[in-house]
Amino acid sequence: MRQVPIRELNQHTADVLARVEMGERVAITRNGRRVAIIEPAQPDPLDGLVESGELRPARGSLPLFAESAATTSDSAGVDAIMVDRYGEPAGDG
């Protein structure tokens, strides 16, 4: 693995990234100490599944849990748990 000082990375970013694109891993150093490793990006396994037709990309976003939970009052949820567990709502004890 080639070692590249951060100053060289700053001055020759395109050259360093070209080496990475060709498959080389590059260690970035600061004052002689390794601080990062740049390596080629791995293909996303989901892309292959989409290309083969085994997977279809989502067409929209899913609602957040907080948005769907906002329609139920907190006490109704607690009451449902208490009825399920003890046979009576909370506070009726």
DSSP state of 70: T
- Residue 64's pLDDT is 67
pTM of the model: 0.51
What string of pLDDT tens digits covers the 93 residues of the chain? 999 999 999 999 999 999 999 999 999 999 999 999 999 999 888 888 999 999 898 887 777 665 655 555 566 777 788 888 888 776 655
User: Measured between alpha carbons, how far is 7 from 11 in angstroms, rounded to an integer?
Assistant: 6
Q: Tokens 């395109």 belong to which residue?
A: 14
- Residue 37's pLDDT is 98
- Residue 21's pLDDT is 96
- Residue 92's pLDDT is 54
- Residue 8's pLDDT is 97
- Residue 68's pLDDT is 56
Domains of the chain: 2-38 (3.40.1620), 64-93 (no CATH)
Number of H helices and E strands in the chain, helices first, is 5, 3
